[in-house]
Amino acid sequence: MAKKLFIKTYGCQMNVYDSGRMADALVPHGYAVTDRADDADLVILNTCHIREKAAEKVYSELGRLQQLRRRRQEAGDDLLIGVAGCVAQAEGAVLLERAPYVDIVVGPQSYHRLPELLHRRARSRNAALDIDFPLESKFDRLPEEMAAAPGVAAFLTVQEGCDKFCTFCVVPYTRGVEASRPAIAILAEARRLVAAGAREITLLGQNVNAYRGAGPDGRNWDLARLIRALAEIDGLQRIRYTTSHPRDLGPELIAAHGEVAKLMPFLHLPVQSGSDRILSAMNRRHSADEYRRTIERLRRARPDIALSSDFIVGFPGESDGDFRATLALVEEIGFAQAFSFKYSPRPGTPAASMRGQVNDRIKTERLAELQALLAQQSDAFQQATVGRTLPVLLERPGRYPGQLVGRTPHLQAVHVAAPDAGPGDLIGVLITASHAHSLAAEPIASAPVVAPDPQQGRAACA
Ligand code: 5AD
Ligand code: SF4
């Protein structure tokens, strides 16, 4: 009988993708995926190290797993515990000191070696640890077959790692330097995903718009070129990409937003701060004005583009004036959605030892003020879609019979009663109501069922 594998995923979409690939690596070795830790033979935590809170969650979950293993052993059974992802990469041996009962520690570059690590563990009393940055790419070694069918909206990693070294960020240390997959491999994976039912693909990379992969024509392709080639795939309806760095958002990619109808009018473009002094201390390599100009160009190319961003408040040295500059930038640009965080010092990063660490009370106040403004903007953005007709890609059944859940081009979740439609259909709907995190809609027969014209009017955003 197949052994059962449960993977719990923390953090970013790349971890979600990687968890799928770990399953792909283990299924040919006698594992079947389960969605319950309780009856698993192997539990893998795919972890995130970006902020302290995210990393600490892993240790409390490991404590619970240790207890689960005790109960299982008392019942004459066993449980293997693995830690993957960025906590595994960053903490490695330290993790094994804090949680010596862990069996396998595997960094993000070594998932193709999971079967071998399990063998190693079975033959030894010690945990199996692999946090190398191997010369061979994991993408060349992971199996092509998918253990589970992709959803209607699938992820595809095209680039990994980051060379930007923002002074607050652990990513360059946990995910390594920038590396892009060859375009041929990406196009082949995209075709497999579409053949298996995917209708939307989100291209993933820590710095996805820095993509420079070998093209089939012998030249290096950038992200815009890759997107144009992907758009040729029949059956693929929508393309998105995340996460981008403002510095790498060049004219070709902006032009693609204006010309490629399958490229959705939504962009997550983290700015982090609106103060040039702080942006420079963060080593972001762009000013607030350069960010503004990039947004202007994008809006000129694709007037209805909706924007999302990440913000950090309480970065070392952030004065009240710096924080006000962030609020001003938010007011000016208007975001459809955003993520904002208190600065969290990460061991080994330059900002952790900078002078002028901001106390937690001030961080909390600033975060509340920023989040109130961002919530106002996202509410206004949601509200502005009420009464509009939009093409919605249906992704999965909803809670009620006949109800389906899908997304607008702007990534808003939509609940729609459409008993005649099913996941994978792109239908026209009239948005009837707006809630905090989703929209309600009814289908309309005469609405467009193709992606909207990139040149149509701008979506209202506060
Ligand atoms: N503290 C707080 N937020 C951080 N982020 C990255 N590192 C830190 C940190 N040390 C945020 C940034 C990034 C997002 C993924 O997480 O805003 O864009
Ligand atoms: Fe981290 Fe900066 Fe790289 Fe983004 S661009 S992953 S914030 S170092």
Question: How do residues 307-352 score in pLDDT, each as one tens digit?
Answer: 999 999 999 999 999 999 999 999 999 999 999 999 999 999 999 9
Q: Could you report the per-residue pLDDT of 78-94, keeping only the tens digit for each?
A: 999 999 999 999 999 99
- Measured by CA distance, the residue closest to atom 2 of ligand 1 is 343
Peptide bond into 349 cis (omega under 30): no
- Measured by CA distance, the residue closest to atom 13 of ligand 1 is 310
Pick the closest to residue 324 from 285, 277, 360 (CA basis): 277
C-alpha to C-alpha distance for 165 and 176, rounded to whole angstroms = 10
Pick the closest to residue 240 from 409, 457, 448, 21 (CA basis): 409
Please tell me the distance between residue 110's alpha carbon and the centre of ligand 2 in angstroms: 21
Supply 326's token pair: 């962030």
Q: Which ligand is nearest to the CA of 354?
A: 1
Helix, strand or coil, per DSSP, at residue 359: coil
Q: Which ligand is nearest to the CA of 165?
A: 2
Q: Could you report the per-residue pLDDT of 400-412, keeping only the tens digit for each?
A: 999 999 999 999 9
Please tell me the distance between residue 195's alpha carbon and the centre of ligand 1 in angstroms: 36
Task: Tell me if 165 CB under 6 Å of ligand 2.
Answer: yes
Residues with CB under 6 A from ligand 1: 50-51, 168-169, 270, 272, 310, 312, 341, 343-344, 346
pLDDT confidence tier of residue 455, bands split at 50, 70 and 90? very low
Using the structure block, give the residue that is written with the tokens 């762009």: 286
Alpha-carbon distances, residue 49 vs 23, 89, 158, 245, 345 (angstroms): 22, 9, 21, 20, 11
State yes or no: pLDDT of 459 exceeds 60: no
- Ligand 1 pocket mutation pick from 87, 309, 337, 341 by most atoms within 8 angstroms of CB: 341
* pTM for this entry: 0.92
Q: Give 404's strand partners.
A: 397, 416
Atom from ligand 1 closest to the CA of residue 310: 17
Packed helices 223-230 and 183-195: angle between N→C axes, nearest 10 degrees: 30
**Contact (Cβ atoms closer than 8 angstroms) between residue 313 and residue 343:** yes
Task: Tell me if 391 CB under 6 Å of ligand 2.
Answer: no
Q: Which ligand is nearest to the CA of 313?
A: 1
C-alpha to C-alpha distance for 178 and 173, rounded to whole angstroms = 11
Q: How many CB atoms lie within 10 A of CB 108?
A: 23
pLDDT (0 to 100) of residue 388: 96
Pick the closest to residue 126 from 108, 106, 107, 100 (CA basis): 100
Q: Could you report the per-residue pLDDT of 363-381, keeping only the tens digit for each?
A: 999 999 999 999 999 999 9
Give the pLDDT mean for 418-440: 94
pLDDT (0 to 100) of residue 244: 97
Task: Tell me if 171 CB under 6 Å of ligand 2.
Answer: yes
Q: Which ligand is nearest to the CA of 285?
A: 2
Atom from ligand 1 closest to the CA of residue 168: 10
Please tell me the distance between residue 312's alpha carbon and the centre of ligand 1 in angstroms: 6
pLDDT confidence tier of residue 135, bands split at 50, 70 and 90? low
- The CA angle 149-155-159, to the nearest 5 degrees, is 135
More confident residue, 451 or 227: 227
Atom from ligand 2 closest to the CA of residue 282: 2
